[in-house]
Amino acid sequence: MTRYRIADDVAWVSQEDLDVDEVPTAYLTRVPGGPPILLEGSGCVVWLALAEGGTLEEVTATAASMSDSTVEDISADVAVLVDQLVAIRVVEEH
Amino acid sequence: MSLPGGWHDERMTGEVERTAPIAARVHLAHAVVQKLADDRGIDLLHLKGPAVLPGLRPEGRHSSDVDVLVRPSHLSRLVEALESIGWEQRTDFTTGSVFAHAANWWHDDWGWVDVHVSWPGVTLDPEQAFDVLGREGQVRAIAHRDCPVPGLIAQRLILVLHSARSGGAVDVDLAWQQAPTADQDAVRRLAGELGAEVALAAGIGELELHRGAPTYALWHHFLHGGSRWDEWRARLAAAQGARAKAHLLTSAMRVNRDHLRMELGRPPTPQEVRSRQLLRVRRAATELAERVRRP
């Protein structure tokens, strides 16, 4: 079963680290030479779920619990986003 | 990057715009600099901002730039590393500050990084001072990356010295006033080891105990202000040795091209440098004339 995790060369910070109470937002980059990337709203929720690692089903379940959504409602969107994050190599499959 | 309609919102992913919060950029920039250092075996200590240990910084206060202290003998490698990914040097060590202790670089994505080879107020040889400041260092996660930072006592001292240099007391309350007596004693011992007693005294309200010290006038100037003439006189008194004094006098009347470039937002033309030089000489002459007239 494929598991997902944040890539080893990624630095990231979320609005929680910054002590600001705004829309859930994560800022990330591949160090040292990557561009800055923004994940806002539900994208940030998926990112925080990915920070805990797991299979796509586990990541989706974590994201659902963080956002008061159902797994059924969000699973397709989460799958698309995770694919995109893998494609830009900020998330690794293992 | 965008996704089809559904649970996600419209701005789910994308490249950070230039208006991204400075605090986010600073966190990520610390991590970028540390990765550069890790890859090249460069010894660094992250200072201020997110590198400050919990309890030493007021909640919600953020830095606008990255401050790192590099082992002086590793400086050239760090400069090469920074510039390899697009940082551009904007000031050099002679024009960056009174103490010639730091220079800064700009990156369009990551903003400013101030590279220090020593810390204002520390008079011990910079290479030895780096070892002392890092001796009880810790690792602190910044942007989820391990970054070495000074230990608690060294951080208290660094914040107090910075506060004294800035002419304020912003960090002194948490770093010194609220510190346990044992920590204050340890800070004094560390300051002694680093030759930073006068600077520490300036930061904690004890400068008058050091009236005879060569650097007294300089720290008095930082705390209480004064004219440029006063500053240069204080710097001259603090400069150790004939060569240092001669170098200081030579540079005293020279226009700081780095600062002029930042002020103009572009490299100054030779004519602009000459014009500013004239202004500088006039200003110095005016200050001197006012002092002569003063009763």
* Domain definitions of chain B by residue range: 11-154
pLDDT value, residue B275: 72
- ipTM strictly over 0.90? yes
Nearest-by-CA chain B residue for A6 = B144
pLDDT tens for residues B119-136? 999 999 999 999 999 999
Interface check for A38 against chain B (CB to CB < 8 A): the answer is yes
Nearest to B163 by CA among B119, B206, B203: B203
For A16-61, write each residue's pLDDT tens digit.
777 666 788 999 999 999 999 999 899 999 999 999 999 999 999 9
pLDDT-derived band at B236 (thresholds 50, 70, 90) equals: low
Q: Which residue has the tokens 């910075």?
A: B162
Over residues B166-180, the mean pLDDT reads 88
Q: What is the mean pLDDT of residues B55-74?
A: 90
What is the structure's pLDDT at B6? 42
Pair type for strands A25-30 and A10-14: antiparallel
Greater pLDDT, A4 or B255: A4
Q: What is the pTM of this model?
A: 0.82
Query: Is residue B114 pLDDT above 50, yes or no?
Result: yes
Among A16-20, A87-91, B94-98, B189-193, name the one with the lowest average pLDDT: B94-98
Q: Regarding predicted confidence, which is higher, B287 or B154?
A: B154
pLDDT at B279 over 70: no
Question: Could you tell me the two tokens for B158?
Answer: 């660094």
Please give the Cα distance from B259 to B280 (Å, whole number): 13
Q: What is the pLDDT of residues B259-270, one digit of tens each?
A: 677 777 777 787
Instruction: Please give the share of chain B, as a percent, with pLDDT higher than 90.
Output: 57
Cα–Cα distance for residue pair B109/A60, rounded to 1 Å: 32
Say what percent of chain B tops pLDDT 70: 73
Task: Specify the pLDDT at position B18.
Answer: 41
Residues of B in contact with A13 (CB under 8 A): 24, 27-28, 143-144
Contact B94, B251 (CB under 8 A): yes
Render pLDDT for B190-199 as a digit per residue (tens, 0 to 9).
999 999 999 9
Residue A50's nearest CA partner among A81, A72, A29, A15 is A81
CA distances to B39, B145, B173, B229, B272 from B238, in Å: 39, 40, 28, 14, 31
Mean pLDDT of B196-212: 96
Q: Which of B40, B48, B20 is nearest to B108 (CA)?
A: B20
B178-186: average pLDDT = 98
What are A57-80's pLDDT values in tens digits?
Answer: 999 999 999 988 999 999 999 999
Instruction: Kindly state whether B264 is in contact with chain A, defined as any CB-CB distance less than 8 angstroms.
Output: no
Q: pLDDT band at B162, cuts 50/70/90?
A: very high
Instruction: Determine which helix (DSSP H) or strand (DSSP E) holds B46, and give its type and residue range.
Output: strand B44-47
Minimum-distance CB partner of A84 among B6, B13, B24: B13
Both tokens of B119, joined, read 């810390």
pLDDT the model gives residue B24: 93
pLDDT band at B2 (very low <50, low <70, confident <90, very high): very low
pLDDT of residue B224: 85
pLDDT at B188: 98
Higher pLDDT, B45 or B262: B45
Q: What is the predicted pLDDT for the residue at B141? A: 97
Q: What is the pLDDT of residue B9?
A: 46
Query: Mean pLDDT of all residues in chain B?
Result: 83
CATH number for B11-154 (one of 3.30.460.40, 2.60.40.10, 3.40.47.10, 3.40.1390.10): it is: 3.30.460.40
Residues in Cβ contact with B197 at an 8 Å cutoff, skipping those fewer than 6 apart: B188, B191, B210
Q: Among A9, A10, A29, which would you mutate to test the B interface (most chain B Cβ atoms within 10 Å of its Cβ)? A: A29
Q: Strand order of the sheet with strand A3-6? A: A54-55, A3-6, A91-93
**Chain centre distance of CA B233:** 22
Q: How far apart are CA B30 and CA B33, in angstroms?
A: 5
Mean pLDDT of B214-232: 81
Average the pLDDT over B240-267 and give the result. 67
In terms of CA atoms, which chain A residue is nearest residue B85? A33
Residue B205 or residue B8, greater confidence: B205
For A85, name the nearest residue in chain B, comparing CA atoms only: B13
Q: Which residues partner with A28 through β-bridges?
A: A12, A37
